[in-house]
Amino acid sequence: MSELPDRLSTDPRSPYYNAEVLSRDVGIRFKGVEKNNVEEYCVSEGWVRVTAGSSKDRYGNPLTIKLTGPVEPYFRDEQ
């Protein structure tokens, strides 16, 4: 599998979670800057969800912020 999906999440409870794709080293460029704290992305809608520091919600999950802009996912091992 050499193509990344349009939408991908790191949360196993999400319908967009894909362990096979995540087993490879996926990188995200957001607005031309490398991001390491992306929880979920959508290329066609142009947004990423990033963790908001170390804050947690009432269920113990990290709080996320949705940022809009151009998203470029890639496999780090294919550079």
Q: What is the mean pLDDT of residues 42-70?
A: 93
Whether the predicted pLDDT of 58 surpasses 90 = yes
The DSSP secondary-structure symbol of 11 reads: -
* SS3 (DSSP) at 14: coil
Which neighbouring-strand residues pair with 38? 50
Q: What is the pTM of this model?
A: 0.86
Q: CB neighbours of 47 closer than 8 A, spacing ≥ 6? A: 41, 66, 67, 68, 69, 71
pLDDT of residue 1: 45
Domain spans in the chain, listed from the N-terminal domain onward: 5-70
Whether the CB-CB separation of 39 and 64 falls below 8 Å is answered with yes
